[in-house]
């Protein structure tokens, strides 16, 4: 237990040092480290321990451009109308994760720097595909871009009810409605309690299964949230626990991928 806590503290320190601003994403990675086997822990520490201090958001770094295009599109998961990966090529998170995992699984055949880059790809994009605002679905045109909508601040007819303006991207990447200032470590602790003994349930399946699951959730909310739509206060508030749950799933699924290397 002590070793796991120390390792998680180590991961937190490198994440904080690199100013990965979204602490819910930090929390997902920290929680993943608490659910990986000893061999996977040793592997992650070997490849990220001394070279992780340049930029956790590696895709935006100069180094990363040698591997993948410096293109925002790579953070998006593209699905067809049946919620299956469209494999649109280099500008797609699903494709990038698959290619990176090929390198990670064959780590003995690659240089340390190549494996390190691939591991960063997996970490970054596994979190990204669990943000419903990053999911683009073929037959849902408004999923292809960010958009604004309005929502009731309280129940319709209640005093002080007014229409507030918001945007899909911010809603789809919110995580539990935490106030600013809560660290990734604190959120990881909260997520650990929330997860309980459901790791096996949340990590079950393959990358393709997880993509379809995330797509189904996104599609359900995209039916409610549309450009210039007026949304009830209850619908608006209920997305917080949904996006929170997805971050917990992201951590479990990331851990499952890393554990799978050593089966």
pLDDT of 31: 87
Q: How many CB atoms lie within 10 A of CB 42?
A: 14
CA atoms within 13 A on the CB side of 66: 6
pLDDT of 161: 81
Is 151 within 8 Å of 230 (Cβ atoms)? yes
Phi, psi of 167 (to 5 degrees): -130, 155
In angstroms, what CA-CA distances link 255 with 18, 28, 30, 74, 122?
21, 10, 10, 21, 11
Q: Which domains does the chain have, with CATH numbers?
A: 2-260 (1.10.575.10)
3-state class of 102 per DSSP?
Answer: helix
Phi, psi of 78 (to 5 degrees): -100, 120
Distance CA 160, CA 155 (A): 9
Q: In what order do the strands lie in the sheet with 163-167?
A: 163-167, 148-152, 230-231
Q: pLDDT for 208-227, tens place per residue?
A: 999 999 999 999 999 999 99
Segments of the chain scoring below 70 in pLDDT: 1-23, 49-72, 90, 157, 176-183
pLDDT of 218: 97
Q: How many CB atoms lie within 10 A of CB 45?
A: 15
pLDDT of 52: 37
Q: pLDDT for 122-169, tens place per residue?
A: 988 898 999 999 999 999 999 999 999 998 888 776 778 888 898 999
The pTM for the full model equals 0.83
């Amino acid at each position: 237990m002590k070793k796991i806590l120390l390792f998680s503290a180590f991961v937190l320190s490198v994440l904080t040092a690199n100013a990965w601003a979204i602490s819910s994403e930090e929390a997902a990675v920290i929680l993943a480290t608490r659910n990986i086997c000893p061999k996977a822990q040793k592997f992650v520490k070997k490849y990220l321990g001394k070279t992780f201090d340049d930029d956790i958001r590696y895709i935006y770094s100069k180094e990363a451009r040698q591997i993948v295009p410096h293109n925002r599109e790579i953070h998006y998961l593209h699905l067809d109308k049946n919620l299956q990966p469209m494999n649109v090529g280099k500008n797609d998170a699903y494709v990038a994760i698959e290619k990176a995992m090929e390198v990670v699984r064959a780590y003995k055949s690659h240089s340390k720097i190549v494996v390190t880059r691939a591991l960063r790809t997996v970490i970054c994009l596994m979190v990204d595909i669990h943000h419903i605002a990053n999911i683009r679905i073929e037959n849902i045109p408004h999923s292809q871009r960010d958009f604004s909508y309005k929502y009731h601040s309280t129940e319709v007819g209640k005093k002080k009810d007014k229409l507030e303006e918001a945007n899909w991207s911010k809603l789809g990447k919110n995580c539990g409605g935490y106030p600013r200032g809560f660290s990734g470590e604190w959120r990881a602790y909260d997520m650990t309690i929330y997860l309980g003994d459901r790791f096996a349930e949340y990590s079950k399946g393959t990358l393709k299964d997880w993509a379809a699951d995330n797509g189904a959730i996104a599609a359900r909310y995209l039916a409610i949230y549309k450009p210039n739509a007026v949304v009830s206060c209850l619908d608006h508030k209920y997305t917080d626990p949904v996006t929170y749950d997805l971050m917990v799933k992201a951590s479990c699924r990331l851990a499952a991928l890393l554990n799978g290397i050593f089966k």
